[in-house]
């Protein structure tokens, strides 16, 4: 399994405590890393690759989304690779940052009739794949990324979050 150094930052007190989030991140991101290493032949650095997970709120993610993506609205998850990478290429020692917004996650989980932790698990996997160059801008990219997410989530005991939907583009 790839060696990861996961740094956790909790910016909103409504999130579970840092220890709980760190344990979840180790399990979820660890499973995603192991899966893409094994199934997609994704290389990892020889030493622990650093990853930052920021658990914030809608106001903060809205500002980040406006500044970096030109979209003045909250979103569920944003990923910022430390270095540009395409799937299957060696990442640098710092993978990047994943930022997740509490209120958006809660609204989406309720709308999807899914438990909070299941939707959070999905967003962690989704954000992690973005750090390795996976995207959903074009339909073929979306199909690839969603297929990986579905297979990783199945390994974690969760159902297909895209069942019955067209690929996200």
Task: Please tell me the distance from the alpha carbon of residue 15 to that of residue 116, in angstroms, as a whole number.
Answer: 11
CATH number of 4-155: 3.40.390.30
Residue 165 has pLDDT above 70, yes or no: no
Q: What is the pTM (predicted TM-score) of this model? A: 0.94
Q: CA 143, 148, 154, 157 torsion: positive or negative?
A: negative
Task: Please tell me the distance from the alpha carbon of residue 62 to that of residue 75, in angstroms, as a whole number.
Answer: 7
In angstroms and rounded to an integer, the radius of gyration of the C-alpha atoms of the chain is 15
Per DSSP, helices labelled H in 70-166 are 102-112, 116-130, 139-155
Over residues 86-129, the pLDDT tens digits come to 999 999 999 999 999 999 999 999 999 999 999 999 999 999 99
Over residues 17-39, the pLDDT tens digits come to 999 999 999 999 999 999 999 99
Q: pLDDT value at position 167?
A: 55
Q: pLDDT value at position 163?
A: 80
Q: Report helix, strand or coil for 64.
A: helix
Average pLDDT (69-81) is 96
- The tokens describing 29, both together, are 């991101």
Q: pLDDT value at position 74?
A: 96
Residues 6 or more apart whose CB falls under 8 angstroms from that of 98 comprise 51, 52, 53, 54, 77, 78, 79, 80, 124, 127, 128, 130, 131
Over residues 130-164, the pLDDT tens digits come to 999 999 888 999 899 999 999 999 999 998 888 86
Task: Please tell me the distance from the alpha carbon of residue 120 to that of residue 109, in angstroms, as a whole number.
Answer: 9
**Where in the chain are the domains?**
4-155
Task: Please tell me the distance from the alpha carbon of residue 114 to that of residue 160, in angstroms, as a whole number.
Answer: 12
């Amino acid at each position: 399994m790839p060696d990861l150094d996961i740094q956790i930052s909790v910016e909103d007190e409504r999130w579970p405590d840092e220890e709980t989030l760190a344990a979840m991140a180790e399990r979820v991101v660890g499973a995603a890393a192991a899966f893409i290493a094994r199934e997609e032949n994704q290389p990892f650095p020889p030493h622990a690759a650093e990853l930052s997970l920021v658990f914030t709120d809608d106001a903060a993610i809205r500002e980040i989304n406006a500044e970096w993506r030109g979209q003045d609205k909250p979103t569920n998850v944003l990923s910022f690779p430390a270095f540009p990478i395409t799937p299957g290429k060696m990442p640098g020692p710092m993978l990047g940052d994943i930022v997740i917004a509490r209120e958006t996650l809660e609204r989406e989980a309720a709308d999807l009739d899914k438990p909070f932790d299941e939707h959070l698990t999905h967003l962690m996997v989704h954000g992690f794949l973005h750090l390795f160059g996976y995207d959903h801008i074009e339909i073929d990219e979306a199909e690839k990324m969603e297929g990986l997410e579905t297979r990783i989530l199945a390994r974690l005991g969760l159902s297909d979050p895209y069942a019955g939907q067209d690929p996200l583009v």
